[in-house]
Amino acid sequence: TPPELLRNFCIIAHIDHGKSTLADRMLQLTGVVDARAMRAQYLDRMDIERERGITIKSQAVRMPWALAGEDGVTVPYALNMIDTPGHVDFTYEVSRSLAACEGAVLLVDAAQGIEAQTLANLYLAMQNDLTIIPVLNKIDLPAAQPEKYAEEIAGLVGGDPDDVMRVSGKTGEGVEALLDRIVRLVPPPQGDADAAARAMIFDSVYDTYRGVVTYVRVIDGHLSPRERIVMMSTRATHELLEIGVISPEGIPTDGLGVGEVGYLITGVKDVRQSKVGDTVTNAGKPASTALGGYADPKPMVFSGLYPIDGSDYPVLRDALDKLKLNDAALVYEPETSVALGFGFRVGFLGLLHLEIVRERLEREFDLDLISTAPNVVYDVTMEDRSVVTVTNPSEFPGGKIKEVREPVVKATILAPSEFIGAIMELCQQRRGDLQGMDYLSAERVEMRYMLPLAEIVFDFFDQLKSRTRGYASLDYEQAGEQAADLVKVDILLQGEQVDAFSAIVHKDKAYAYGVMMAGKLRELIPRQQFEVPIQAAVGSRVIARETIRAIRKDVLAKCYGGDISRKRKLLEKQKEGKKRMKTIGRVDVPQEAFIAALSSE
């Protein structure tokens, strides 16, 4: 298809404002998916997306759409639509999708109005110079207030409130008119058809049967089946076994030209050969410079991931390699723990990302995993000026520390103005610093805070929701670091440190953490032949203490006078039980105790 007849657009919105549902109607109206095959949120292909009702991965689909020109002659266009996730953890997915488009449909729920991620995604689209088409969705809802929110949107993106389109992804009302408008307003892609081929890899997935499937957007030139291609960052060359468009499944074509979006298959099985952000060119006529690529996303939260069955370690390593292909934000390196054995320290964009990765590893690779309490990254400057980056609390340095720095975020909270007081109180408890406040309308306010990431990443959003009866929305972005009074709390069993339970917390919260953890372990660790003290300590100073009392009789006591075979059986049983025990110093701790102590919170 020549570029004049192509339109590449994405749908961006706050979570639940109806992106995937609108995408469904478009798939149906354009005939890409027929009524029989249709199911809600068609493009949410992963089980986990369907169960949770959220989009995690962006999806590209090509749809035909005919529109009569000024002379009345019908012109067949091809639209490439990219559905994107809305959650703050997946902004990185969104920004890659935006780079493959010229236009963005900015969707706003007509019963909710603008929310925090509406703003965040709009700013991303503006940074990418996309043409923005503002649209109000869910106009079928009785609670919809299209007039009011059209004003709000026009105030934000400019233009006339009457030009804000009104649709219902549920009933399909207004969706044809929206497709027409996309063709009219979104500029066709521009590129040099005669130049050496350059295509940007914006995603890739591993398929058990076909190997790596790479998703690309062609910027210049043309890629054809059977020719040899080069991945510019690694210089690796491959034969293009298949190339095509996705509509809604892969359809092989005789190539992809300027502005086209599609997939390619080289038969490569090694996931590292197809890197998101890399440029694909032609081996016979290679481009001299690669495309810009994407900035590597910076993981914000780290956690240890360990197989419950130690022999699964190689499976876990292989699974992480495969997931990484599909999830550029994932980073990991091997780690060992006294308590948990061999595993990985894994970096994530946020807690939802952690949950999703863990769940995908368990489901798609049949693993049973335990994850340690998540933490952010700290920079520790020593008196001698050396700097240590800490991604695992147990590696927090001893010795003379000059300063500890923690990551901070710029948070944007949108809420009805009646909740200002409640929000301020919460943010103060979390060491927040109010930067500014604006009224979007008489009753809706935007508050901007600087907050330590560690304070926001765990239960902040739940707290915010419950204090605002669900009306507040939150978005945040990284905003550097600040010095803070942070200490490491260690947990000791009989004087031996248990690495998996160390935590870095603010000085004022150290005591509460120590008491909570020591209390939990006292409940979870079975009694031993001897007394076991549990201590929480900051450096050499003990801040909390519990004791597990000794059992009086040993297991053989009840067999006195009994027959010898029963005695032996008991001993063997005890030995088996020991296998699943970890020994910390002299103390036997069942692995379940670690799991229970780490998981509940």
Residue span 12-51 as binding mask against Mg ion, x where in contact by CB under 5 A, dash where not = -------xx-------------------------------
CA 369 to chain centre: 19
Structure tokens at 292: 């810009």
Structure tokens at 536: 């929480």
Residues in the chain, total: 601
CB of 138 to ligand GDP, least distance (A): 4
Which position has the token pair 């920079």? 379
| Stretch 452-491 residues interacting with ligand GDP (CB under 6 A) | none
Structure tokens at 551: 């059992």
Binding segment toward ligand GDP, per CB under 6 A, in 14-22, 93-101, 270-278, 482-490: 14-22
**121 is a contact residue toward ligand GDP (CB under 6 A):** no
Q: Rounded distance, CA 278 to CA 229, Å?
A: 12
CB of 117 to ligand GDP, least distance (A): 10
Residue span 154-193 as binding mask against ligand GDP, x where in contact by CB under 6 A, dash where not = --------------xxx-----------------------
Start-to-end Cα distance in the chain: 54
**371 in a known ligand binding site:** no
In the bound state with ligand GDP, the residue whose beta carbon lies nearer, of 1 and 21, is 21
| Nearest residue to 441 via CA among 154, 160, 165 | 154
State which amino acid sits at residue 181: R
The CA distances from residue 219 to 1, 261, 332, in Å, are 14, 9, 32
* Total residues in contact with ligand GDP, by rule CB under 6 A: 19
Residues 6+ apart with CB under 8 A from 493: 521, 525, 532, 533, 534, 584, 585, 587, 589
Q: Rounded distance, CA 302 to CA 297, Å?
A: 14
**21 in a known ligand binding site:** yes
Binding segment toward ligand GDP, per CB under 6 A, in 15-23, 299-307, 348-356, 471-479: 15-23
Contact assessment for residue 71 and residue 61, using Cβ atoms and an 8 Å cutoff: no
**To 10 degrees, what angle do helices 175-185 and 19-29 make?**
90
Bridge partners for 228 per DSSP: 239
**238 in a known ligand binding site:** no
**375 in a known ligand binding site:** no
Binding segment toward ligand GDP, per CB under 6 A, in 13-21, 277-285, 323-331, 332-340: 13-21
226: left (phi over 0), alpha (psi -120 to 50) or beta: left
* Near ligand GDP by CB under 6 A: residue from 7, 9, 10, 18: 18
Considering CB distances under 5 to 8 angstroms, the limit depending on partner class, which of ligand GDP, Mg ion, none binds residue 253? none
CB of 13 to ligand GDP, least distance (A): 5
**353 in a known ligand binding site:** no
**137 in a known ligand binding site:** yes
| Stretch 22-41 residues interacting with ligand GDP (CB under 6 A) | 41
| Stretch 47-76 residues interacting with ligand GDP (CB under 6 A) | 53, 55
Bridge partners for 214 per DSSP: 204, 264
CB burial string 280-307: b at 16+ within 10 A, e below: bbbeeeebeebbebbeebebbbbbbbbb
**579 in a known ligand binding site:** no
The CA distances from residue 408 to 189, 349, 411, 412, 455, in Å, are 38, 14, 9, 13, 9
* Near ligand GDP by CB under 6 A: residue from 7, 19, 62, 275: 19
* Near ligand GDP by CB under 6 A: residue from 1, 20, 253, 281: 20
The CA distances from residue 516 to 451, 523, 533, 534, in Å, are 24, 11, 15, 12
In the bound state with Mg ion, the residue whose beta carbon lies nearer, of 53 and 284, is 53
CB of 114 to ligand GDP, least distance (A): 14
Residues 6+ apart with CB under 8 A from 488: 393, 396, 502, 503, 504, 538, 539
* Near Mg ion by CB under 5 A: residue from 55, 303, 392, 502: 55
Q: Rounded distance, CA 430 to CA 424, Å?
A: 10
Which position has the token pair 């995604």? 121
CB of 112 to ligand GDP, least distance (A): 10
| Cis peptide upstream of residue 590 (ω within 30 degrees of 0) | no
CB of 12 to ligand GDP, least distance (A): 9
In the bound state with Mg ion, the residue whose beta carbon lies nearer, of 17 and 430, is 17
Considering CB distances under 5 to 8 angstroms, the limit depending on partner class, which of ligand GDP, Mg ion, none binds residue 138? ligand GDP
CB of 52 to Mg ion, least distance (A): 10
In the bound state with ligand GDP, the residue whose beta carbon lies nearer, of 19 and 488, is 19
**507 in a known ligand binding site:** no
Considering CB distances under 5 to 8 angstroms, the limit depending on partner class, which of ligand GDP, Mg ion, none binds residue 321? none
| Stretch 123-142 residues interacting with ligand GDP (CB under 6 A) | 137-138, 140-141
Annotated binding-site residue numbers for GTP: 16-21, 137-140
Annotated binding-site residue numbers: 16-21, 137-140
The contact set with Mg ion (CB under 5 A) reads: 19-20, 55
The contact set with ligand GDP (CB under 6 A) reads: 13, 15-21, 41, 53, 55, 86, 137-138, 140-141, 168-170
